[in-house]
Amino acid sequence: MVETARVGSVLVGAGHYQPERVMTNDEMATIVETSDEWIRQRTGIVTRRIAADDETVVDLAEAAARDALTSTGVPIAEIDLVIVASCTSDQRSPNTAGRVAERLGLHGPAIIDVNVACSGYVHALAVADQAIRAGAATTALVIGAEKLSAVTDWTDRTTCVLVADAGGAFILRRSDQPTVSDVTWGSVPELAGAVRIEPPVNKFAQEGKSVFKWAISEAEGLARKSVERAGYELSDIGIFVSHQANLRIIEPLARQLGLTSAIVATDITASGNTSAASIPMAYSKLARAGELPADTPALLFGFGGGFAYAGMVVRTPK
């Protein structure tokens, strides 16, 4: 990549949080007519975590943020921007970012919520990066948090086996040697209603087959475009963190992109689909396990409700 002198941001580190309660596929089979075999074969999911009734999206977001702050050692006083990506916020106002800032005792940061469902995290990261580039922030806490169990129709086997609860967070900091790339983002109006949480039902619903077909035929080109716009070659990409929707999407996508020697995040198996939390959590878990080499380009690619997508490349910390 040709390095040009510009102010931008670097990824300092990440954190995540999952609720205590593990739900297995066998337990799911006691709730709806399904089986461990069907869920594993069609989705790759083995377990997922479900929040307690009184555990809120703010709780999940706060716990992920604390984990990121502790692991990076970034002082609370330095955070001047909090962005939360979520499509399951507890309330409309005050927003989740404001509540998290209050809970953490931050010193009056800008507080922004972003709702672009499963691609929301990459959108939030791009907004934070652009705020830093514009000089409107220096240190950003970017969180993805979802309590999808609260909007799950527990009688619908086509959706309840897929979704779960979690939080994930990155900390970005201003730098004159930036390692966070430009974003490629956009939407697909023909699929606008394909993934939804709409009144009067207000439960997660999707046209799974349409989304699956789109992912298999269109995601590759958009992920390629993301890498190109970020200023990299696909052969530079050492880590691939896609939205964790289905192992049968993640693995073919990695193959289509020729990322055969890259580290590919497959946290879907342990965690299910956690929408905006899935990318930062999958990244954070790999980092925590010591599996991510330093200063390595990681392709982050999200897609889902809207219907929207977003991709960017972030280098792991040096």
Ligand X SMILES: CC(C)(COP(=O)(O)OP(=O)(O)OC[C@H]1O[C@@H](n2cnc3c(N)ncnc32)[C@H](O)[C@@H]1OP(=O)(O)O)[C@@H](O)C(=O)NCCC(=O)NCCS
- Closest to ligand X by CB, 138 vs 158, is 158
- Closest to ligand X by CB, 71 vs 206, is 206
Cα 308 → chain centroid: 13
Burial (CB count within 10 angstroms: exposed 0-12, middle 13-18, buried 19+), residue 201: exposed
Minimum distance from residue 305 beta carbon to ligand X (Å) = 6
Minimum distance from residue 147 beta carbon to ligand X (Å) = 15
CB 258 within 8 A of CB 299: no
Alpha carbon distance 266, 244 (integer Å): 7
What value does the CA radius of gyration of the chain take, rounded to a whole number of Å?
A: 18
Burial (CB count within 10 angstroms: exposed 0-12, middle 13-18, buried 19+), residue 128: buried
Catalytic residue among 118, 123, 160, 246: 118
Q: Is 273 a catalytic residue?
A: yes
Alpha carbon distance 316, 318 (integer Å): 7
Identify residue 287 by its one-letter amino acid code: A
Listed residue (59, 127, 63) closest to 96, CA to CA? 59
Alpha carbon distance 17, 158 (integer Å): 26
Residues near ligand X (CB under 6 A) are 34, 38, 42-43, 118, 157-158, 161, 195, 206, 208-209, 211-212, 215, 245-246, 249, 273, 304
Query: How many CA atoms does the CB half-sphere of 80 hold within 13 Å?
Result: 11
Active site residues: 118, 243, 273
